[in-house]
Structures are given as C-alpha cells and as structure tokens.
Structure 1
Amino acid sequence: MQYPFAGKVALITGGASGIGKAIAKRFVQNGASVVIADLCVEATIDADWKQAGTSLQFVRVDVRREADLLDAVRFAKATFGGLDILVNSAGIFPRATIQNTTAELWDKIMEVNLKGVYHACRAAIPEIIERGGGAIINIGSLNAFGGTPDLFAYSTSKGGVVTLTVNLARSLAKHKIRVNCVHPGWVLTEGEKEVQKQGGRPDNWYETEGEKLPLGRIQTPEDIAPCVLFLASDEASQITGQSLAVDGGLGFHY
C-alpha cells in the first residue's frame, strides 16, 4: 500500500542499516524527505541510496548525546523546512544474562535504547509542534513483554520504551502528535546475523529455525517498514499510545 508523504519530513535514528534503513527507503519511495541520523553514515552513501537524490540526507549522530539530536533536528529544518515524523530505530542488542550484565554494559544499553529515544523526542517535539502536529514511532521489541535470559538489559530497555510511548502519547495529544510503538519479533538484520555467526550458527540455521515459527520464517526489515509508514500516515490519525506487534506470531510462544 502506498501512502502520500509528499511535503513531509522524517528523521530516522539508526536509519543507516537494518530496520531503520528499510523504513527510510519506504518513506523516500512514498515521497517523504528523509534525514538519516546514525553513527555510521559514511559506509551507507552507496548505490543503494543514489536514486533517492536530494530527498535523502545523512547526519552523523550518537543518540547518547543530546547535542547531536538537536543538531540533527536543526539540520532537518534547515534542509527541508521542518519536521513532521520521528522514527526512533537506533538500538543495540548485546547478548548477556543478568549475571553477565556489568554496570557498564547496562548503562550503555540504556543510554542507547532508552535515553536515546528520550533525547530524540525532546529535540524533535518543538519542531513537530511548529508544523501543527505529526507522528512519533518508536521501535520496541517483542522482548519488552518477556525477554529471553540472554537479552536481560535489552528487554528491560525496550520495556521502558513502551512506558515512554504511552506517557508521551497522553501528553502530546493536545498538540496533535501521535506516538506509537512497533514491536518486531525476530528480525534477520545484518547485526543479528553477526551475533549468530559469533555463536557458531551455520549459514542455513536461520531457514531451519524460521520454519518452526508460526508463519514459517524469520522476519526481514522490510516486514516492519510498512507498519511504521501506516502509523505515520493519515490513515492512522486516530491511533496513539498503542503497541503494534509485527512478530510473525512469535508472541504466541511467550
């Protein structure tokens, strides 16, 4: 389904790879102007993006730094005239049980996955208000509702994103800003492939494991992107404060 985003400006954290990259592509394909805010922008400006032309711009951002997010929002306004949509996709997912989660690792995960969302929202909200309203979509995780033991801190951080989403939705409704959260299940990103490779998994392991899931395969970033576009579109004009699971039925296993 196509959504008309001509004249709209979206800022996407973590948009240089994985789920964020798939979301950025969909927004550009649907007419939006997009600013990708990511730590790794240099490696992403390749043939994959060239067809997007000037409607796609990159800015280097560390979401742990409030100043970086403020700069990104200012860049979006200076380049495209304002900001209508914020997608918080930046995140990290180191495997560690509670016994193996040091205080330093805990802080790093929380700073990226939860505090990073806070920084981005704080920076973006005034500009979205100035545009007369818009949408914020946070990328959560199925693990927010019951994570595996080796994703202890990650799951906790995503639970915080759910709470942040609901509270923002209530406080920003008067400004016509809708805030929702999309919860992917098991998504086969490059980062996930690397994690499994380090764990000694064979190349065909994903296919075999995917066949055990309710809908028969592991998800791709492209499965998540359309749901984000829907929540950012006028078709979702009465949806706010909600969690939408896009998990291929994996939640049935919890």
Structure 2
Amino acid sequence: MNDFDGKVALVTGTTGIAEATARRLAEGGAAIIALGIDQAANAMLQAELNRAGAAALVLATDVAVPDQVERAIASGVEKFGGLDVIVNSAAVHPYGTATTTDFETWNRAMSVNVGSIYLTARFGIPEMIKRGGGAIVNVASVQGTACQENVAAYATTKGAIHTLTRSLALDYARKGIRVNSVSPGSVR
C-alpha cells in the first residue's frame, strides 16, 4: 500500500484517531510530521514509526499556539522538503453547558479544536502551494450537526469545523488544494 509515496503529511495529535492516521499514512509511504502535547504519546508514536522504518518527526507542540505551529511546520518542511497533506485531528472534549463551562475551558476548546485548523492552514497552505497543491482533512464530529446534552463548547467547535472546512475549500480549490472534513461518532 504505497499510495502516499513521496508525500509529506502533517497530523495534529498523537493519540487516538491521530495516531491511527499517522500510522496509516506512514504505511502508505508518507513522511510524517506529528504534533502533540502528550510527551509519552509523542515518544511512543515516534518509536513505533521508527520501528516500522517510516520517515517521521514527532514534535512536542501545542497546536493552539501560533509560533509553535509555525516552527513545527518549518521544521518538518526543512527535514522532508515540503508539505502535501494536513490531517487536523487534535482536539479537547470538555463536558458542560453554556452556564457550567468556564470561559477558560471554552476558549481552550475553541483554540485547540478550531484555532489549530486555522494555524495549520495559515502556515501549511503556502508550503502546499509550492508543491502544486495537496489535501487537508479536518476531523469534525457528528456532534457538529446533531449534538447531545452537556457538550456546548465541544459541539460548537465541531460545527465551526464544518464551516471552516467549506471556507478553506472554496478559497484554495484553484490552488489545487482539496479540503474535506470527516465526522466520526463516539470514539474511546
């Protein structure tokens, strides 16, 4: 399965869906740039990708912090020569209603779940354009369209991802960049 030979893929997050995505892209031949804040998960993913013989760079990065995302993308591009794929999977999932969610938690959810997509686009799309285009996949959620109780911040961010995905798709289609979102159901 070498459907990603010669491609460089950025994946935000190093656990769960992000980890599985990084492994699959690596199995397909892509060089991987993975960004995560969980040091133990970062080390495990780096070791796993190394054992598999994958070209990989796993970086401790808070994807809600602009200069950290900019540096991480620059490091990955320097190491692997460009950027072709971005998979935005990093997320936080706070529980709470509008009246029980404190403002700090609300802002962190917005910054990680939506802001990180903006940041990877801001710093990653110029690199994709240099290579003639690419693909971006944003991991949203069914919560973005049909939410349950007690997830006000999370559901709001996932709805925003749908809108940001459409906006990015319209803005960069002429540059050869496809932008899609996927909406998984509950994941442990």
Q: TM-score, normalised by structure 1?
A: 0.70
SS in 1 for 2:11: strand
- Cα distance in 1 for partners of 2:72, 2:115 equals 16
Q: TM-score, normalised by structure 2?
A: 0.94
Gaps of 5+ in 1: 189-254
SS in 2 for 1:25: helix
Equivalence for 2:86: 86
Calculate percent identity across the aligned residue pairs. 39
- Cα distance in 2 for partners of 1:52, 1:42 equals 18
Equivalence for 2:31: 33
Residue 181 and residue 74 in structure 1: after superposition, are their counterparts in 2 closer, same or farther (change >3 A)? same
1:49-198 → structure 2 map (5 Å cutoff) = 49-53=49-53, 55-188=55-188
- Cα distance in 1 for partners of 2:78, 2:158 equals 32
Which structure would you say has the larger Rg? 1
- Cα distance in 1 for partners of 2:15, 2:181 equals 19
Query: Size of the alignment, in residue pairs?
Result: 186
Q: Quick check: 1:41–1:59 contact (8 Å CA) kept in 2?
A: no
Deviation at 1:99, TM superposition (A): 2.0
* AA of the residue aligned to 2:144: A
Q: RMSD over aligned Cα, in angstroms? A: 1.3
Deviation at 1:102, TM superposition (A): 1.6
Equivalence for 1:9: 8
Q: Quick check: 1:36–1:59 contact (8 Å CA) kept in 2?
A: yes
SS in 2 for 1:184: coil
Residue 43 and residue 156 in structure 1: after superposition, are their counterparts in 2 closer, same or farther (change >3 A)? closer
- Cα distance in 2 for partners of 1:151, 1:52 equals 38
Deviation at 1:69, TM superposition (A): 1.0
* AA of the residue aligned to 1:26: R
Deviation at 1:4, TM superposition (A): 1.1
Q: Deviations over 1:34-74 (max 9, x none)?
A: 01111124443235333233511111111111111111111
